[in-house]
Amino acid sequence: DGGITQSPKYLFRKEGQNVTLSCEQNLNHDAMYWYRQDPGQGLRLIYYSQIVNDFQKGDIAEGYSVSREKKESFPLTVTSAQKNPTAFYLCASRPNVGFKWGNTEAFFGQGTRLTVV
Amino acid sequence: RKEVEQDPGPFNVPEGATVAFNCTYSNSASQSFFWYRQDCRKEPKLLMSVYSSGNEDGRFTAQLNRASQYISLLIRDSKLSDSATYLCVVPGGSYIPTFGRGTSLIVHP
């Protein structure tokens, strides 16, 4: 079955440590997104990528980094510069960009819950 | 004005009630709209898409008012299992899915 997979489901980070969250999709989608969700809040965009080897900052990119070396993969690194990383991280993908596909829904992975210890 | 706005609630209703949520958006160029359902500590899942004036799926009806730039979600005959957060999603610049804060629904016996 096609889908989008995030791992790990739970992640614990020590102060000053970098951690990487994995996001893999086999839906052949061009566009991929990382969101952060805090308790009682909506989803805020961290980074997005519309094509391989290209990505753009979202609204809250500080303290995060991404790469898009393969169409299927869009890992997110939470760096030590992110002062408040405890949150629920969601990865999503959409088929394509442009008007024809711009109005399609996003598909989500199951999320990674990151906690600073 | 925020791109997508929702009343966070919570909406607390008895089983069998009809409840409606509204969502306002600022991007007048948006062509499609989505309602997602999110259960506690889970990922959002697509509930309904709205591409024209509205859409209906069983107990759920979504309507679009382009002139006033809002979409609504109506749930009839509420079930306990409908308790969740309902997220309104509107494609923003570069068709990036842009989320409202979500509306919390609690259905009680």
pLDDT in tens, chain A (117 residues): 679 999 999 999 888 899 999 999 999 999 999 999 998 788 999 999 999 999 999 999 999 999 999 999 999 999 988 889 999 999 999 987 665 555 678 899 999 999 988
Per-residue pLDDT averaged across B84-99, rounded? Answer: 89
What is the C-alpha to C-alpha distance for residues B51 and B55, in angstroms, rounded to an integer? 8
- A85 contacts A116 by C-beta, under 8 angstroms: yes
Residue type, B31: Q
- A75 contacts A67 by C-beta, under 8 angstroms: yes
Cβ distance A108 to B97 less than 8 Å, yes or no, reads no
Q: Pick the more confident residue, A49 or B28.
A: A49
Other C-beta atoms closer than 10 Å to the C-beta of B107 total 20
Picking from B7, B27, B44, the residue whose alpha carbon sits closest to that of residue B90 is: B27
Task: Determine the pLDDT at residue A104.
Answer: 78
Task: Determine the pLDDT at residue A95.
Answer: 85
> For residue B40, with 0-12 CB atoms within 10 Å meaning exposed, 13-18 middle and 19 or more buried, which class applies?
exposed
For residue B102, pLDDT beyond 60: yes
Task: Determine the pLDDT at residue A102.
Answer: 53
- B86 contacts B102 by C-beta, under 8 angstroms: yes
Q: Which chain A residue's Cα is nearest to B6?
A: A42
Residue type, A91: C
Task: Determine the pLDDT at residue B54.
Answer: 84
For residue B84, pLDDT beyond 80: yes
Picking from A30, A2, A22, the residue whose alpha carbon sits closest to that of residue A111 is: A22
pLDDT tier for residue B93 given thresholds of 50, 70 and 90: confident
Chain A residues with CB under 8 Å of B8 CB are 40
Q: Does B95 touch chain A if contact means CB atoms closer than 8 Å?
A: yes
Structure tokens belonging to residue A81: 């510069």
Q: Which of B42, B49, B101 sits opposite A105 (nearest CB)?
A: B49
Q: Does B34 touch chain A if contact means CB atoms closer than 8 Å?
A: yes
For residue B24, pLDDT beyond 90: yes
CA angle (B39 as vertex; B36, B45 as ends), nearest 5:
30
Cβ distance A102 to B95 less than 8 Å, yes or no, reads yes
What is the C-alpha to C-alpha distance for residues B4 and B19, in angstroms, rounded to an integer? 20
Task: Determine the pLDDT at residue B14.
Answer: 97
